[in-house]
Amino acid sequence: MLPFLFSALAMNAVGRAAMDMIQEVRRQFADIPELKAALAVMKKNDGIDQKSWSTADQATFDAADGKAEYGKCVEISTKASIREMVLPGILAVVSPVVIGFGGGAEMLGGLLAGVTSCGVLMAIFQSNAGGAWDNAKRCLKKV
């Protein structure tokens, strides 16, 4: 049960951090004129090879290069990773101590064996799920 709790906490943390990142990217596209203009050019030329764009469109697109505030996105990601993983970290440290003192060595051994085996299986399943997700995205792009 503990690995599932860790997994749920981590997935919720990733969702919250991703939402913060999306809001920042939207803010940058709304507030930075070069990025806004480049987005309009990309929408106008959707499906057309970039080499076939007009000179003005290419110049507008090139003017946006390096205008994004990457540091803010890195800051959001860093702060979110630290902030969101405090509870899972505390839970990972405190639960064996509580089980060990409360239930004895046998219960602690069972907890550690169960968490380890369950954690390995979850890691394998999630690794395969990530590959399947990536392949599904690639297949959808071709459609």
Cα(112)–Cα(72) distance, rounded to whole angstroms?
39
* Residue given tokens 């106008």 in the structure block: 44
pLDDT at 143 > cutoff 60: no
DSSP 78-107: HHHHHHHTHHHHHHHHHHHHHHHHHH-HHH
Which range among 6-20, 48-62, 115-129 has the greatest average pLDDT? 48-62
Confidence of residue 142 (pLDDT cuts 50, 70, 90): low
Which of helix, strand or coil describes residue 65? coil
- Kindly list the domain boundaries of the chain, sorted by start residue: 2-32+68-142
